[in-house]
Every structure is written in structure tokens, then in C-alpha cells.
Homo-oligomer: A and B are copies of this chain.
């Protein structure tokens, strides 16, 4: 249910052109065609779904992390430990999306064999939108789960400084006639991308999203970003957990979910966790980021026939949508619904990007000598 940036003066581009550009730039840097295509697909899928903060606007992040050495160009991804149901995958510092895709496929294959699969990953990097991986389960009529830890941005309850990532959770489950259920949520009140959008547009943050460096609630997006980007959160302050400040409205629950993600994605596979990620060497150079992920796949027909499950999902969704509405509201949404509708529309008429994003993509096209027509 993330909203897109207001793009009044935006530029409309066909998704195929965006995917080609991203893939070409990464290949020009030395990434294999297969891996470049997966990264491109993840970024364009985010743009199509309206999660523009995780879309092609982030190509530059992948490029700069490859350059800085946080991300390795030719990783030797391998399974370190395995049972019929579980696997520990080492991403060898490679690009997040190909590592994560392979891990989720492994979970799905195991579920196909034995009923469920759980795969945790160490030595990985940003994987983009979590929903991409959870949704891989849908075409196989399974329930998919994806989570990842991330660079330090969110404060624990009663803490003044950031100590956890926005640690998202995604869960996807198929339905029959209705769109599938696809939850994809940062465990902070909002994702960092949303704060960036407010900052870019000069809008005041709602109270309850972030703390400044003194620990007070703030509406100043630029101040929050300056603090967080200066030495990875050491500037103080940060995003608030879902539920906000303190415990009165459940902030300890958002904090607890972020911690759960860090345990399953960081501690369980032996990846980075809390502030033990994106470390630098003595000269300030980037060490492997050591991001960790956790994936799950559940075969529905291990529990009940898939068609029964889907028919029940449709009935559950119908009941929720029939709930009497709050004054001024006309519709109750199921998670993923807004994004499926946005993607269908944009697949037809193109993705609208901010002019700054287009300029930055064009600069990469020029730098790496690849075409960018739109």
C-alpha cells in the first residue's frame, strides 16, 4: 500500500525501455546477463507497483555499491548447509536480487518436495522490494514469505538513535477471482523511501514517523535524512517503529517485528545484524555489506486442496470489502490490490518517473555507452 510520489511534471517511460537500460548498465559494469536481468526486473516491478522509492531510481545505489566494494561483481553463491526443508545460502557479497531469487527458488523447490521450505541467506546485499520474492510463490500456488534486514535507520522503543533497519516483511497468498493477498511492509512506521519522497517534495513529515537527534518527534525530513546518512545513523535520531513513540500505541510491537526480522535474517544465517552491517575497513573502504534475508514457502495442498483454499480466500476478501465504511471512505483494500491495479495500468501506458530520476538514468546510459530511448 505504499503510495507513489506526486509526479506532476513526470516523464512517462515504457517498462521495457527501463528494464533494458538497467540491464545494459549492469552488464557494461561486468555483471552477468542473467543477474543483470533479475536486478532490472526487480527494479521495474517496483516502479510498476508504485513503490517508486525502490524502483529504477535506485539503479545508482546498485552501481555505487558495486563500485565501493560493498557488492561483489562475480559472486560464488553457494548452499552452505541443508536439510530436506531448510538451506543456508551464502551470497558471497553478490547483488541482492539474484541471490534472493535463487534462495526463494530453493525454498519453493523444497516446499514442492516436502511441503515447506525455509531458506536464510548471509553475505547478501539490498534485494529491492520484498514482495518480488514472496510473489514468486503465487505462480506455484504456494504461500510465500520474504524478509530482510537492512542498513541502520530505525530506533528501538525508548531509544534515541537508530539501531535496526526498516526490516520489511512480505507475505503472499493466492486467491481465486480476487487479486492475491500481498503484504509488503516496513516494520518502521514508514519506509525510508517515503521520507526521501517527502524531503524531495519539501513536505512536512507527519508526526509519528521519525525522531530528530535530540529524541524529539520531528516533521523535518531533511534533518532526519542528514542525521541518518551521516555515518550510518551515528548522527542520531531515526525512523520510529510501527506504532510510534513509546508503548502506548504499540511502538514496542513494530520494534519487536523489526527484531524478529533481524533474528531470522541476520542472526540465524550468521549475517550482519543491528549496526553490524555495511562496515568499513580502517581506510574507510566498504567491506561486504553482509545483509541477511529469510524466505519461506508453504505448499497449500499439504493442508487442503488449492481450489478450496482459493475459494475461501475469495470469501474472506468479499467479507472484508463488505464491511461498513468510515465516513468519507468508499473502499476497503486488500494488501497488494492497489499495486496490482497500478501495475496493470502502467504496463499499458508506461511508468511515470521524476525528471531527476530520468536525468540520472540518462547519465548512467551516457557513462556506460548504452542506449536509452523512451
Interface positions of A (Cβ within 8 A of B): 1, 81, 83-86, 88, 114-116, 118, 120, 143, 155-161, 163-164, 171, 173, 181, 183, 185, 189-190, 206, 208-209, 211, 214-215, 236, 242-245, 247-250, 252-254, 256-257, 259-260, 262-264, 266-270, 273-276, 298-300, 302-304, 308-309, 312-313, 315-316, 319-320, 323-327, 329, 331-335
Contact = CB atoms under 8 A, between A and B. Distances in A.
Contacts of A332: 156-159
Given A189-B250, A206-B248, A83 B335 contact: no
Contacts of A206: 248-249
A304 B143 CA distance: 25
A197 to B, nearest CB: 14
Contacts of A211: 326
Given A114-B84, A298-B118, A1 B158 contact: no
A313 B1 CA distance: 32
B263 A163 contact: no
A28 to B, nearest CB: 37
B275 A325 contact: no
25 contacts: A83-B115, A84-B114, A85-B114, A143-B263, A155-B323, A156-B320, A158-B325, A158-B331, A158-B332, A159-B324, A159-B325, A161-B323, A171-B260, A183-B253, A206-B248, A208-B248, A259-B320, A262-B316, A263-B316, A266-B316, A269-B303, A270-B303, A273-B312, A275-B319, A276-B319
A249 B254 contact: no
A257 to B, nearest CB: 7
Contact of A189 (B118, B249, B260, B299): B249
A276 B322 CA distance: 14
Contacts of A120: 303
